[in-house]
Structure 1
């Protein structure tokens, strides 16, 4: 089934503009604030006093505590993306609720698979970008829906990588469009702190950057979820005997 990109954008936007989308946005804001402040605090603990003013938003803790917060944020990120995949992949009519099964069903195994697989995908994609950029785009498109194979279909790392690769076949150019949107958003958001730093307002720049980043990437994740649902329906849910895998019956796949 050919991915209908406009339909994915429309459906993904609708998914974000729900109670579920709001909850996921708030959680992403929290994750981003913790990430930025813990990294900045670690940097500030090692920086010269003269450089402290340009580091940005920090928290009043030691470098050791900031490191522990950073580690906790890394683990929280794994849980977050498992929950996000399950939440956004539900039928649109169910996105007004946020049931406990989203963050309790096999969450430990899914989180571990997400973190390990995410590191693998990151390394592979970065190697691809090192080889004239285009291989990186190709690989990013191939593994774009990896997290949905983990969270929604309860797959392990290898199985989820294979599933994402399989679902992307025949639609990689369209998926590259989503990857490029993500890259443009990332580049735009990355420039925000630098502009505020020039104005002597590094901490405010971090806050603005986190808010913009969280809002825009919530929409990107919603669009990616909609793309995954299209691809899974077109595949007929043939990824294996997993009761949570999306099927082609009904208007939207269930978790």
Structure 2
């Protein structure tokens, strides 16, 4: 995978902790035609500590706790049944598959169907919060954008389906061979943003993410690695708490708290990457039109996977540039 960066014109994007400048020479970041990784990460961190960012952390904390209860309940309920089926239908003995010594303290004594329902409901709630978070973080996150609630149930469902398909593709890629999985994880990194901001459908969102990331794959991969590394570092305090007298319950609760912070940060990073790449793409399209070139050429001069006469979603490239670009 080569970092075949776009040859489009310069475009200003808001990736600093300051309000967008009113015009040239006002102290904003220098224009560029490729993803600025540092700006994306710093812009995400700055928005995370603002009041709305902290409110989203609290939201992720509640959803994360509910999700932990649902998944541990499903695991604690399903494993004994699977164990019994294996023992009954094979030569294995109970000694070969000892029962769980101590189920998670968060697990509830519910039936498998109830646990599955809880997992599905919490997954949909988490996706709804993800869509809202993207809507918040593509802006300066100083006030809650009312448009974040527009068509929220529909966008959340579309985002859930689109990201589920992307996750399956990435999983198959990892199973077949690691590199295809990595490539697809990068290519579909902005699926949620395409749905949340542009109102794209399932297939258009997959194609839109592919288009935006093309030409910036190495940098997006680096961003993904940073987010994963932050998540891994966040698990260390949980492991330390688990070996203290506070025990597994405190460790599980602490892990949910850290998980909420990491998840919010990940949403903010994805939003800031989207703002940059959408602005670059919009400027590239505008430049090709001004030069009289074909609209269907991609940023790297190859035929585009998503022609401009095919609707992408609620926002056109010009509207994206107008909403998140210079002067706003």
The match for 2:266 is 220
Query: Which residue, 105, 119, 129 being the options, matches 1:56?
Result: 105
TM-superposed deviation, 1:13? 1.2
TM-superposed deviation, 1:251? 6.0
Query: Which residue, 22, 29, 36 being the options, matches 2:54?
Result: 22
TM-superposed deviation, 1:108? 2.5
TM-superposed deviation, 1:99? 4.2
1:12–1:226 Cα contact (<8 Å) kept:
yes
Q: Deviations over 1:154-188 (max 9, x none)?
A: 10011111110000011000000122223334444
The match for 1:3 is 35
Unpaired stretches in structure 1, ≥5 consecutive residues: none
Between the aligned partners of 1:50 and 1:195, the Cα distance in structure 2 is 26
Between the aligned partners of 2:209 and 2:219, the Cα distance in structure 1 is 14
Query: Which structure has the greater CA radius of gyration?
Result: 2
Aligned pairs, how many? Answer: 249
2:130–2:267 Cα contact (<8 Å) kept:
no
TM-superposed deviation, 1:197? 5.6
Between the aligned partners of 1:220 and 1:129, the Cα distance in structure 2 is 21
TM-score when scaled to structure 1? 0.84
Give the stretch that moved more between structures: 69-78 or 155-164: 69-78
Give the stretch that moved more between structures: 110-119 or 44-53: 44-53
Unpaired stretches in structure 2, ≥5 consecutive residues: 1-32, 81-97, 286-307
TM-superposed deviation, 1:15? 1.7
Aligned-residue CA RMSD (Å): 2.9
The match for 1:203 is 249
2:70–2:118 Cα contact (<8 Å) kept:
yes
Q: Deviations over 1:3-52 (max 9, x none)?
A: 01011111111121222211211111111101111121233345669736
TM-superposed deviation, 1:145? 0.9
Higher helix share: 1
TM-superposed deviation, 1:231? 0.4
TM-superposed deviation, 1:100? 4.2
